[in-house]
Structure 1
């Protein structure tokens, strides 16, 4: 009896120990033909004796990897599903569980079904994701339905602030560089704004924000990079969309977009066209106080109503060809053609002295009419080769862009002794033509080599060449004959050449599946030459820089990560700020470039944390030396200038410090309600260099935003957005607080093919701004505002014909970079 009892106890103890053992099952989901990853695949684990019930379930990550933890040692069945693919099933027997308690199933290959009709993909993606170098805001259908353009979407990105004049800062810093599907947008910022305003929200797949880019990106830009990723059709067949938007605030505006895509076994192509017409009117007021001595201060005062108009047409063509399962070649072309019709604006200036500012000593009337044409063209070709089963890749990329501005203007100044109703003292007129073509060419090669699943090397080279030619012609009105005559000293031509050659290398390794360390270094050699023809002055420069980069990422879990990063970056002066030619607006106002302007350098460190894909915290600090600022200084009266004349020019003012804290919360509480809140604080300090006056300016600013989207019955959607920013400092200027409130409502028809959106911005007419600039003996105050709320109505229609409904998976520029983590390999210049 005792022996029997002992045997029963031993069996029970052994059984309990065996039952207590837990295992981890891991693997990777891939396409059976292309061997590409299948992200967000659904994986479920079932007891063999109960295949209907689910023992455990999980979703694969962006690389198709999965891990199922705390699995009991039992006969199991693993099931995998992915839209457009045949269900995958694998039996796991007791004998497959090893002593190491980790069962690695390796690569699991899924086959395309090839039998389904059109499929509507409804898989949920996280709206905000922080991964490696970047923060990604994915644009889902609900978010796209609550705004009227891609530019409105950009305002929702955490850390991005856009004021009423469309000026943008990222984490409190200006100087953001833009990319389009990983390629540099070599166009002026206003053209980028026009492009985004003419794009539909559902054209955008995501915005990728890199506040501290890695070394595979150009070191240019102190604020970071924003990559605009456009959606690519993944279904075989032909589809497209048509979108239109009309808005009114002070003028009637319209935006349009048409896109068409085609996909088959070899080709993935897309073609788009987007026209727009934008216009606005606003009121402005300016006061400039200039101290000439103790008790002697002169006031320049003006009030005006201004008008702006812009017409633009954008076109793009993207195509990629699958040579075989390891090679892809791609081609892209874009064009932007715009300009403004003839616009006439006139500003009266009243001049008075302390203490009797109400008594006008003198005045002048300054008027200007102008016509501008702007053109941007670009094309690129890339080649990607997969080298082995470890996903080693080699990529070549060649791109070219051409940008040109042609401006024709007439300006005049009428000077009065006393106010504008007194006798005319003198007048002057100018007729000017400004031609500014720019050509950019870049070539790069990148190599990516994973030695193991955790140890990776990336290296590459790039050369960039830019030619710009500014031809400025000026004629002055002869008051006796009424004809315009050439003024040699008012005519200028400035050619600028820039060449940047770079090499980079980056090594990363993951330790104990938790800590990822990446070390990188980038070498850039810069050659420039500026030639001012009127003065026949030539300025040549050549300098070499080393840019280190470090990133530490610790994963407590996949949805709980902490990242510390450091980067050293540069901002080179643009060609216009180096042109020494002095341009006259009136006898009181001049502007010129500075051929001795140096690049500014910035050290940045950032600590960020993401939790559950819904709470994101970021703390960053940057120090910039040789900070570039525009200033106004008096002109020498001994050279014949008016004693009240000021000249604007750019200088390396000194250094600046920037400390930023930002926290964002994103949560879909229910299927019908999603909520986002963000708040931040920013500290800025600017210190003058020894050759300037002793300036030590500092400022704290704060911002907060709230947005809430509701899905109502019968496919109605309602959205609210509010933004507030306190007064803030930018360079030598301080701006007033700013707030914006918008509301929108949308409705879908005919199985989501047709969409209608009505929105109201500046809902309570609070879109006003005040700015004050203080430097030496001059204080400038500016007020501006737009009148009334903006009402917009947009309409979108999707169409298409699908067949086989297979999803395409091809090696590409984007997939090359996704393996490395963070954006695209193309640089930030």
Structure 2
């Protein structure tokens, strides 16, 4: 099928709609009878809407403006006002601008030196202006993100408070790389290269409606031409075992060509611990699992952008990740008979999971500035494939007095192959007018997954293929989207924004082994709305609403049943449906000191992995199912305290109520409870040169509920010492994580009236020493193209 025929009519219509032309103003700027190069031209209309451009080497600028208006024009150079003039534009016009004999130094005028507040509330996001924060300067991007409101960084996991998952973007372009590579990449960017961090808790219609997630958008500073920069980093991390991380980032901007690249390699082990307790009628089953997990990952990223002319930019980006992780587990299952203590049993299982993962992603894009009024059009083509090979072996031995029905020995092997392929076409248009700013676009996405899984019985010592536990499964998904968004400043106090996104989805799943086909089709609309009210300079209010969708990860749709031990299996569900969430949030901000947010979330048709216990066979089978409805409401309170010039802290306090209902008799039918979480980051400057810093992170969570499970309390304490040398080009950091080994939260629930308790510890107590050296002739703006199939990439990994 030729899918491009679907998008060509959309492109033509959008291009035609964009060609609402204004009038051209051409200006010549002179000082001492010489043309002024790179002069900044600020143009303001009667409605206080601003237009901006710069002059070329010959002192000429050309800009398109709406006709029949009076414009105030100010021209700056080197932070000085050269000249100012008012003109009426009623057609194409040429104007000369001569600098006055005496340049006027800017004191507090317009955009050039007006200092932004550290924290700003905008219509659909909160902005943390890194460049105006003294405490955020000198470190890396991760240091700056810790200071931003609503962002929580715990164990290198970046979250927005109240959101399950987030998307990280650089200059409005998602960075879709594995978590380990993402953290290394963010640590390689210096905070001094960042202008602001935008926290978007309820994304507008422009972004895909996937997930109950927010967006963290990093805006980098604009760099001058002809620069290069190289950053080298190495990290050693010691916990139960040792992990090494090494990487390099190279960036170049030369004669219209922008290159951004990175290489990272991670290798080493960690040792997670898993504990579970199941109380069956008459029997208690306690399981301890000690794991040794190998991380062996090499990844790279290369981005090339070329500015063909003033209006047209084109480029491509490649991301690759290749890993061979291994997990070896020693599982001890102790079975206690309530009536006869002489019939206790022990099952020892050796389990090994070896994988080979290959991920390749390609993006090609074209950006076209239609005119200088801000009309822009962007086209993206994205492609990725993800190939996973899995080999899982287990062998179980039963010792002591065996209970009835337990086997003395059982062994098996899963051999799996999965290939996921996706490509998408995306069109975005920005269309400002004199009355309202418009944003609209379209997206087409096509995904195919192929699964070939085999199970072999090894109990006799010879491989015997089990046809009943072997499966070939193919899944296809088509998604078409259209969106439209409007933004309007009503006056100095009120601003509104509204949008609507439509997504049509068609899925087909086919099991070759079962000769069974499942088809699902649905069309959904996702409205968004925002209102911002500025009472005065220090007090602002905003309210927003948005509807979101979360589609199942591809691995959850495969009906094949994996066998991990004689008493532990897991399978997918080809009929699994997406879940939907409605979010409402009211926010009040006061100066740079305080942000208060009240929020409400309503989840329908929620899905999760459901652990189904059989009281007779004692087999635990885990499968995904749509069975959850959840309503939650809460308060998030952010404070920023600058106690002394050398001491500051930011505090996040969250309290929320969760009410969950279940549609399956396997679990509790209803659970209601309150949760309380606090987090504080304390930052201390230890010397006058501001090259030595100490920081500590304190985090705690109360007893509470998570969906239909009850959770225990927990806390964690981290600390870091950071030293800058060689004019801050060399950065050395010593970091201690979970110092007291206290982040051990247990979850308790019911499965078929059997009480279950789970507690995992991911080897979080470690010491990390990092060295980062950055050198080059200019500060760098990292280049990263927006990847339009980020939703599909996220779904290649189950959570």
Task: Calculate the TM-score normalised by the size of structure 2.
Answer: 0.80
- 2: CA distance between counterparts of 1:109 and 1:348? 85
User: In structure 2, how many angstroms separate the alpha carbons of the residues matched to 1:108 and 1:274?
Assistant: 51
1:317, 1:363 → 2: CA distance?
52
697-706 vs 407-416, greater mean Cα deviation: 407-416
TM alignment of 1:377-416, pairs within 5 A: 377-416=360-399
CA distance in 2, matches of 1:826, 1:529: 19
Equivalences for 1:321-332 in 2 at 5 Å? 321-332=306-317
Which residue matches 2:549? 570
User: Which residue does the alignment assign to 1:713?
Assistant: 688
Correspondence list, 1:177-192, <5 A: 177-179=167-169, 182-184=172-174, 191-192=178-179
After superposition, the Cα gap between the structure-2 partners of 1:498 and 1:78, relative to the gap in structure 1 and judged at 3 Å, is: closer
Query: Contact 2:234 / 2:246 at 8 angstroms: preserved in 1?
Result: yes
Quote the residue 2:707 is aligned against.
731
Deviates more, 1:662-671 or 1:302-311: 662-671
Question: Which one of the candidate residues 339, 350, 374 is aligned to 2:334?
Answer: 350
CA distance in 2, matches of 1:311, 1:125: 44
* CA spacing shift, 1:211–1:415, aligned 2, 3 Å: same
The alignment partner of 1:195 has SS state of: helix
Report what 1:527 is aligned to.
506
| Structure with bigger RCO (C-alpha 8 Å, 6+ apart) | 1
* Aligned-residue offset at 1:674: 3.2
* Mapping 1:118-133, distance limit 5 Å: 128-133=119-124
- Relative distance call for 1:366 and 1:127 in structure 2 (3 A) is farther
Secondary structure at 1:196's aligned position in 2? helix
2:419 maps to 1:437: yes
Match of 2:92 in 1: none
- Distance in 1 between residues matched to 2:98 and 2:601, nearest whole Å: 46
Q: Does 1:361 align with 2:344?
A: yes
Corresponding residue of 1:253: 243
Q: Which moved more, 1:130-139 or 1:398-407?
A: 130-139
Are positions 1:793 and 2:786 aligned together?
A: no
Picking from 183, 201, 204, the partner of 1:196 is 183
Q: Distance in 2 between matches of 1:198 and 1:521?
A: 34
| Structure 2 residue 275 is matched with structure 1 residue 285 | yes
Residue 464 of structure 1 is matched in structure 2 by: 445
Match of 1:87 in 2: 80
The 1:224/1:666 distance shift into structure 2, 3 A limit, reads: same
Task: Give the secondary-structure state (helix, strand or coil) at the position aligned to 2:575.
Answer: coil
Residues 506 and 241 of structure 1: CA distance in aligned 2, closer, same or farther (over 3 Å): same
Give a deviation string over 1:598-656, Cα, whole Å, max 9, x none: 22111111111223233222111011111112223345x9xxxx632232212111411
Q: Is the 8 A contact 2:731 2:772 kept in 1?
A: yes
CA distance in 2, matches of 1:397, 1:746: 41
Which residue is 1:703 aligned to? 677
Q: Distance in 2 between matches of 1:366 and 1:238?
A: 54
CA distance in 1, matches of 2:319, 2:306: 18
Q: How far did 1:508 drift?
A: 2.1
Kindly indicate whether residue 684 of structure 2 is the aligned counterpart of residue 747 of structure 1.
no
Shift of 1:743: 1.7
Q: Report the CA distance between 1:681 and its aligned residue.
A: 0.8
1:275 aligns with 2:265: yes
Shift of 1:32: 1.3
Contact 1:203 1:230 in 2 (8 A): no
Give the alignment partner of residue 319 of structure 1, picking from 304, 324, 328. Answer: 304
Determine the C-alpha separation between the residues in 1 that align with 2:764 and 2:664. Answer: 47
Question: C-alpha separation between the residues in 2 aligned to 1:286 and 1:345?
Answer: 15
The separation in 2 between residues aligned to 1:558 and 1:381, in whole angstroms, is: 43
Q: Contact 1:384 / 1:813 at 8 angstroms: preserved in 2? A: no
Go from structure 1 to structure 2 and tell me whether the alpha carbon gap of 1:327 and 1:560 turns closer, same or farther (over 3 Å shift). farther
1:354 Cα shift? Answer: 2.7
Q: Is the 1:338–1:374 Cα contact (8 Å) retained in structure 2? A: yes
Give the one of 635, 650, 655 matched to 1:681.
655
Give the corresponding residue for 1:428.
410
**Offset of 1:780 from its aligned partner?**
1.4
Q: Which residue of 2 is the match for residue 446 of structure 1? A: 428
Q: Is the 8 A contact 1:667 1:676 kept in 2?
A: yes
Residue pair 1:566, 1:604 contacting (<8 A) in 2 also:
yes
Deviations along 1:113-139, whole A, 9 cap, x unmatched?
A: xxxxxxxx9998765444332334565
Unaligned ranges ≥5, structure 2: 1-45, 58-72, 88-94, 100-111, 793-799
1:756 is displaced (CA, Å) by 1.4
RMSD: 3.9
The whole-number CA distance in structure 2 between the counterparts of 1:750 and 1:249 is 30
Q: Deviations along 1:482-534, whole A, 9 cap, x unmatched?
A: 22122222222211111110111112222123211222111111000111121
List alignment gaps of at least 5 residues for structure 1.
1-23, 36-76, 98-105, 111-120, 291-295, 815-823
Q: CA deviation at 1:299?
A: 1.1
The equivalences for 1:736-815 within 5 A come to 736-785=712-761, 789-801=765-777
Match of 2:234 in 1: 244
For the pair 1:302 / 2:293, whether they are aligned, the reply is no
| Corresponding residue for residue 32 of structure 1 | 54
Determine helix, strand or coil for the equivalent of 1:767.
Answer: coil
Does 1:644 find its partner at 2:618?
A: yes
Contact 2:123-2:532 within 8 A present in 1 as well: yes
Bigger Rg, structure 1 or 2 = 1
Note closer, same or farther for the CA distance 1:394–1:424 as it changes in structure 2 (3 Å cut): closer
- For 1:212, the equivalent position in structure 2 comes to 202
TM-score under structure 1 normalisation? 0.77
Query: Is 1:493–2:480 an aligned residue pair?
Result: no
Q: Distance in 2 between matches of 1:278 and 1:809?
A: 28
